[in-house]
Amino acid sequence: PPHAPPIAYLAIIFLAGANAFTPASPIPLPNAIAGLRAEKSRCNASNAAIIGALAPDASFAYFRSVDSAPTSPPTAAAAASASPSEKKILVAYQGVPGAYSEAAALEAYPTCEPRPCEQFEDAFESTEQFSTDRAVLPFENSLGGSIHRNYDLVLTHRLHIVGEVYFKVRHCLLALPGQEKSALTRALSHPQALSQCDGYLTRLGVVKEEFDDTAGAAAHIQREGLFGHAAIASRRAAELYGMHVYDEDIQDDESNVTRFLALAREPLPPREG
């Protein structure tokens, strides 16, 4: 597939899981490929159940630890708990407050303190250098495919995959309050968000303008007082930056789910039995 990273990369990512991975101890490629095929089959079935459960009126996300596969289709309650050891931990994410990555971090660790990072590399380094306890970062989107850069970063940083979050992306049209929707002429957001809302934005008749981050676009419009400009971002971004929500769920495809991985310095303990 055009979005798929090299098979060796995926094999290492899937099989590393709760195990240590360092360049000094690579997985033999034939074993990795065989393991990937089995893991891909299992993940496809699991992902289908997860995405199917995230209906338009369902909870935003589903979180699980990689050392225990769910035994039944996920529900909203499956993402609701965190162990005492997870309380008040610091979790790095890429973006600014109100970003979807922040929401995914809070779904994974509801009592955590999210720490924004400007770049993906900053989030990896923050956890690796003990500034934060976890990093929660996107790796795949059901519409946009794989985020190759983050696969590369897993191979160059000594972090371990300890969980995954399936997050349903629900885009909103945000703008400064006190204006009619018909007065909006430009829409700012991350290129992927603009692409995912292309049909809606075309019907609205606005010019699409790329920005580094969805929530960052909302913050920029609020900071600069840009009337006539809209942002494609989350409802939380609207609340944080004093924006009005003109429309919700404006993405063209309802099956818009992003898979995030939770990363830590220490691997999960091996399963017994």
Together in a domain, 82 and 203: no
Contact assessment for residue 59 and residue 104, using Cβ atoms and an 8 Å cutoff: no
Q: In this structure, are 27 and 130 located in the same domain?
A: yes
Buried b (16+ CB within 10 A) or exposed e, 41-68: eebeebbeebbebbeeeebbbbbbebee
258 is catalytic: yes
Residues 131 and 242 in one domain: no
Give 74-129 pLDDT, tens digit per residue.
333 333 444 445 458 999 999 999 999 999 999 989 999 999 999 999 999 999 99
Closest by alpha carbon to 261, among 107, 117, 85? Answer: 107
**Mean pLDDT, to the nearest integer, of 223-251?**
96
Same domain, 16 and 128: yes
Choose, from 120, 124, 167, 260, the residue flagged as catalytic: 260
Phi, psi of 58 (to 5 degrees): -90, 175
Q: What is the mean pLDDT of the chain?
A: 76
Q: Where are the beta strands (DSSP E) in 194-256?
A: 207-210, 229-233, 244-248
Active site residue 132: no
Asked if residue 164 and residue 37 are part of one domain, the reply reads yes
DSSP code for 28: P
Claim to verify: residue 23 and residue 146 sit in the same structural domain: yes
Residue 250 pLDDT level (bands cut at 50, 70, 90): very high
**Percent over 90 (pLDDT), the chain:** 49
Count of structural domains within the chain: 2
Residue 224 within a domain = yes
Within a domain: residue 272?
no
pLDDT given at position 36: 47
